[in-house]
Amino acid sequence: MLGRAADNIFWMARYVERVENIVRLLRATALNALLTSSTDGADDDTVWARPLLLTGRMDDFLARYEQLTSGRVMAYMLLDRDNPASVKSVLANARESARATRHLLTNEIWECLNKTWLAIKDLHYVSLQRSTVEDQLDWLSERCFLFRGALFGSMRRDEGLQFANLGLYLERGDHTARFLASQPDRAAASDDPATKVREYYEGTALLKALGSYRAYRETFSSNLDFTRIAELMILHATVPRSLRGAVDEIVVSLRSLNPAADSLKAAYELQYRLQTIQIGHVRRVGLRAFLFDFSKELDEISAQIQRDFMMVQ
């Protein structure tokens, strides 16, 4: 396979995963806003700032709009072509990557992406009522699942699929790490009932944003606890959106592409660390510092993959 083609497939999958992550983020934000809304109906700035901060778009947003409102954030993050992190922009990138290499994709994959793009392309905020935003987000998330179904159900078990897998899991690992790192600092467990209730709802929103609420309930038969959430999302291999889960997939794909690749060695090291540490270690290092290191290593693996497989010249 051409290095450039591999690069396009890698990015196609990476962009679709990014779409799904933005959609989850927006859904969780909307949920959070409902839980924290005050009686006067005003939007909670700290809640709606989250998607902008996480995608690094706060400065741009404020430069264009004076005020942070739920509607503006939703429009900006979903449909704004001038925002490179919006669903519409990222989806356009995904489709362009697919178009550049569509001769290597099955019709199912191409048509799934193309139909999604055609449906979102001419969608503007005026046609998006508050009541239908939820439907739109649900639909987008379904399309992402459909994309993965088409990918794993129709692609030949060969290089192309491995590069798609790498794009998907690098993006996912990166997103989970950054999302966890963006959580506000929390004091030690409080006995104050009001704080406890608020923490319960925040924990729920956090797990839902990472698609791991059920996983938590099935893994721990205990109340929501932020240390346990961190443990689940960092160390548990069985959770599809955990760091460990993502790194395991990266290792598998790299091993099948080239067992001697330098990127595989780096991935093995990262995997080994996640296999052997306990959550106590993460707490000692500090959650943010740990996640920051993790993201950096993931970036290095990503760059090494580009070099190993001639994806960049």
Partner 1 sequence: MPLSQPAFFDEMHSGGGVRQAYDRYAAWLHSVPQEILQQRHDQANSLFRTVGITFNVYGEEGGVERLIPFDIVPRIISAEEWAIVEAGVIQRVDALNAFLNDVYNDQEILRSGLLPPELVLTNDAFRPEMLGMRVPRGVYAHIAGIDIVRVDAETFYVLEDNARTPSGVSYMLENRQAMMRLFPDLFGAYAIAPVSHYPEMLLDTLRSVAPKGIEDPTVVLLTPGQFNSAYFEHAFLAQEMGIELVEGQDMFVDDGDVFMRTTRGPKRVHVIYRRVDDEFIDPLTFRADSALGVPGLLAAYRMGRVTLCNAVGSGIADDKAIYAYMPELIRFYLGKEPILKNVPTYTLRKPDDLAYALDHLPELVVKEVHGSGGYGMLVGPAASKAEIAAFRAKIIADPEGFIAQPTLALSTCPTFVDQGIAPRHVDLRPFVLSGQKTSVVPGGLTRVAMRKGSLVVNSSQGGGTKDTWVLEKPNARARR
171, with CB counted inside 10 A (0-12, 13-18, 19+), is buried
Chosen residue from 36, 37, 114, 256 binding partner 1 by CB under 8 A? 114
The set of residues, in sequence order, having a beta carbon less than 8 Å from that of 195 and lying 6+ positions away, is none
Footprint of partner 1 on 201-260 (CB under 8 A): 257-258
Distance, CA of 308 to CA of 305 (rounded, Å): 5
| Nearer of residues 94 and 215 to partner 1, judged by Cβ | 94
153, with CB counted inside 10 A (0-12, 13-18, 19+), is exposed
| Nearer of residues 75 and 257 to partner 1, judged by Cβ | 257
Quick one: which of 82, 70, 201 has its CA closest to 134?
70
Chosen residue from 1, 33, 49, 146 binding partner 1 by CB under 8 A? 1
Chosen residue from 62, 118, 197, 289 binding partner 1 by CB under 8 A? 118
Q: How many residues bind partner 1 (CB under 8 A)?
A: 27
- Is 164 a binding residue for partner 1 by CB under 8 A? The answer is no
| Nearer of residues 31 and 100 to partner 1, judged by Cβ | 100
- Is 2 a binding residue for partner 1 by CB under 8 A? The answer is yes
Chosen residue from 77, 104, 205, 287 binding partner 1 by CB under 8 A? 104
- Is 96 a binding residue for partner 1 by CB under 8 A? The answer is yes
In angstroms, give the least distance from the CB of 9 to partner 1: 10
Distance, CA of 70 to CA of 85 (rounded, Å): 17
In angstroms, give the least distance from the CB of 257 to partner 1: 7
- Is 309 a binding residue for partner 1 by CB under 8 A? The answer is yes
Chosen residue from 45, 62, 71, 115 binding partner 1 by CB under 8 A? 115
Distance, CA of 188 to CA of 36 (rounded, Å): 22
DSSP per residue, 240-308: TTSHHHHHHHHHHHHHHH-TT-HHHHHHHHHHHHHHH--HHHHHHH-HHHHHHHHHHHHHHHHHHHHHH
And the tokens for 64?
A: 């264009």
| Nearer of residues 176 and 263 to partner 1, judged by Cβ | 263
Task: List residues binding partner 1 (CB under 8 A).
Answer: 1-6, 96, 99-104, 107, 110-111, 114-115, 118, 159, 163, 257-258, 309-311, 313
